[in-house]
C-alpha cells in the first residue's frame, strides 16, 4: 500500500473535541497527563474512493493499534479506552461518520469501505499489529484484512460476527432509525440515554457532543450519514461472505463479547469456533454492545493481554 501524507489538523470543527479528555479520564479513574490533548492529532487523508477519511492519531511513536468504531458512532468512542491503553494508536472515522466525508452513493457496506480503511492504515499506521473493530467497524476490519492481509497482524472483533441479522440488531436499528433532527441538545441527549441505560449521563453528554452538531436555527442533527429506511432494513444475509473471509485469514483472532448484549449469540460462537478453532472468546459480563463505552478500562486490559499472548 502506498499513501500520501495526512493533512495537517488545521480545520475548525466547531467545538473543542480534545477538551473533554480530562473528564473521560476522571470518570474512569485513569491518571491524566496534563499534555494529553497535545498527544492527539486530528488528520485527514485523501482516500482512493475520492473521499476524505479522517482519524485521530494518539501518541508519539509508530501506532501499533488501529480502531474502527461501530455504525452511527465515531472515533471518539475509543477515547477512554485509549487513555487507559496508553499506547500509540489510530482511531479512524469510518466513511460517512465523524469527520470523514459522506458518500453520494450512501454505500457504507464493510466491503465497500475496506479499500479506504486499508489505505488509511497504510498512511497512518504502517506498522500496525492489532486491528480492533466494533460492530460495523468489526465487519469492516474483516473485509479490510481480506483485501489487504498485511494491514495488521491480529484482529479483535468487539461484539460482532458475520452472523448478525435483523433480529439481533433490532435495538441498534431502532436507535439509528429515530428522528432526523432534534429541537434541542436535551432532546437528543434524552433519546441517547434511553437507548444506553448502562452508561452515565456525563459520558453520553460527551458522546452526543462528538456525534452531533447544532445547526444555526438551534436544532441538532447527527454528524453521520443517517441510513435510509431501506438500508436499515437490509441487514439479513448481507455479511455471510465475511464468514468465508474470516476462515481465510491467517491472523490471531479474538472476539470480545458484551455479556449484556444480544448481538452475538451461541450459534455465532459455534460458527466462529467451527471456522477458526483457535479463536479466543472473552465475555465482558457488565458490558452491552458498546463494550468500549461500558467497560473501557477492562477492554484495554484485554487488548494488552491479547497482544502479549500472540507476540
Each residue's pLDDT tens digit, 159-184: 999 999 989 999 998 999 899 999 99
Mean pLDDT of all residues belonging to the chain:
92
Q: What is the mean pLDDT of residues 274-291?
A: 97
What per-residue confidence (pLDDT) applies to 166?
A: 87
pLDDT in tens, 79-99: 999 999 999 999 999 999 999
Distance from chain centroid for Cα 93: 8
Cell of 82: 485509549
Instruction: Give the separation between CA 73 and CA 92, rounded to whole angstroms.
Output: 11
Phi, psi of 121 (to 5 degrees): -65, -45
Band of pLDDT at residue 124, cut at 50, 70 and 90: very high
Instruction: Give the separation between CA 65 and CA 128, rounded to whole angstroms.
Output: 6
Alpha helix (H) residue ranges in the chain: 21-28, 79-85, 110-124, 136-147, 170-176, 185-194, 201-211, 229-232, 241-248, 266-275, 291-294, 296-309
Q: Of 48, 6, 4, 305, which is closest to residue 156 (Cα–Cα)?
A: 305
What per-residue confidence (pLDDT) applies to 47?
A: 96
Q: What is the mean pLDDT of residues 126-150?
A: 97
Q: Which residues are catalytic?
A: 135, 159, 289
Provide CB contacts within 8 A for 108, sequence distance 6+: 71, 94, 95, 96, 136, 225, 227
Instruction: Give the separation between CA 5 and CA 293, rounded to whole angstroms.
Output: 31
Band of pLDDT at residue 237, cut at 50, 70 and 90: low
Which DSSP category does 151 fall into?
G
What per-residue confidence (pLDDT) applies to 3?
A: 42
Band of pLDDT at residue 8, cut at 50, 70 and 90: very low
Q: What is the mean pLDDT of residues 214-224?
A: 95
Instruction: Give the separation between CA 178 and CA 163, rounded to whole angstroms.
Output: 24
pLDDT in tens, 265-280: 999 999 999 999 999 9
Alpha-carbon torsion, ordered 168, 173, 175, 181, to 10 deg: 180
Residue 24 has pLDDT above 90, yes or no: yes
Instruction: Give the separation between CA 232 and CA 197, rounded to whole angstroms.
Output: 23
Q: Of 214, 222, 216, 232, which is closest to residue 179 (Cα–Cα)?
A: 222
What per-residue confidence (pLDDT) applies to 230?
A: 52
Which domains are assigned to the chain? 21-165+240-309 (3.40.50.1820)
Query: Taking each helix axis from N to C terminus, what angle separates 241-248 and 136-147, rounded to the nearest 10 degrees?
Result: 60
What per-residue confidence (pLDDT) applies to 278?
A: 96
**SS percent in the chain: helix, strand, coil, step 5:** 40, 15, 45
Q: What is the mean pLDDT of residues 27-55?
A: 95
Residue 5 has pLDDT above 80, yes or no: no
Instruction: Give the separation between CA 95 and CA 133, rounded to whole angstroms.
Output: 14
Residue 4 has pLDDT above 60, yes or no: no
pLDDT in tens, 182-202: 999 999 999 999 999 989 999
Band of pLDDT at residue 308, cut at 50, 70 and 90: confident
Residue 74 has pLDDT above 50, yes or no: yes
Residue 236 has pLDDT above 60, yes or no: no
Amino acid at each position: 500500500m502506498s499513501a500520501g501524507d495526512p493533512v495537517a489538523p488545521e480545520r475548525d470543527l466547531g467545538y473543542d473535541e480534545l477538551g473533554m479528555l480530562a473528564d473521560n479520564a476522571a470518570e474512569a479513574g485513569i491518571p491524566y497527563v496534563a499534555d494529553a490533548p497535545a498527544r492527539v492529532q486530528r488528520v485527514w487523508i485523501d482516500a482512493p474512493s475520492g473521499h476524505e477519511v479522517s482519524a485521530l492519531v494518539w501518541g508519539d511513536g509508530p501506532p501499533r493499534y488501529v480502531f474502527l468504531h461501530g455504525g452511527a458512532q465515531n472515533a471518539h468512542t475509543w477515547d477512554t479506552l485509549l487513555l487507559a491503553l496508553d499506547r500509540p494508536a489510530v482511531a479512524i472515522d469510518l466513511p460517512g461518520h465523524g469527520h470523514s466525508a459522506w458518500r453520494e452513493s450512501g454505500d457504507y457496506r464493510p466491503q465497500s469501505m475496506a479499500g479506504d480503511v486499508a489505505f488509511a492504515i497504510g498512511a497512518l499506521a504502517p506498522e500496525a499489529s492489532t486491528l480492533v473493530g466494533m460492530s460495523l467497524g468489526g465487519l469492516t476490519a474483516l473485509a479490510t484484512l481480506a483485501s489487504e492481509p498485511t494491514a495488521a497482524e491480529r484482529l479483535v472483533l468487539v461484539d460482532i460476527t458475520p452472523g448478525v441479522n435483523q433480529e439481533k440488531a433490532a435495538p441498534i436499528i431502532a436507535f439509528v432509525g429515530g428522528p432526523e433532527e432534534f429541537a434541542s441538545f436535551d432532546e437528543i441527549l434524552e433519546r441517547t440515554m434511553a437507548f444506553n441505560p448502562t452508561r452515565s449521563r456525563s459520558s453520553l453528554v460527551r458522546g452526543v457532543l462528538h456525534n452531533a452538531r447544532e445547526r444555526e436555527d438551534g436544532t441538532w442533527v447527527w454528524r453521520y450519514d443517517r441510513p435510509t429506511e431501506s438500508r436499515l432494513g437490509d441487514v439479513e444475509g448481507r455479511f455471510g461472505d465475511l464468514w468465508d473471509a474470516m476462515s481465510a485469514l491467517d491472523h490471531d483472532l479474538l472476539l470480545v463479547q458484551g455479556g449484556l448484549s444480544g448481538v452475538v449469540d451461541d450459534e455465532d460462537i459455534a460458527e466462529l469456533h467451527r471456522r477458526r478453532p483457535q479463536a479466543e472468546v472473552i465475555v465482558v459480563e457488565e458490558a452491552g454492545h458498546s463494550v468500549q463505552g461500558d467497560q473501557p478500562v477492562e477492554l484495554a486490559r484485554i487488548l494488552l493481554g491479547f497482544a502479549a499472548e500472540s507476540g
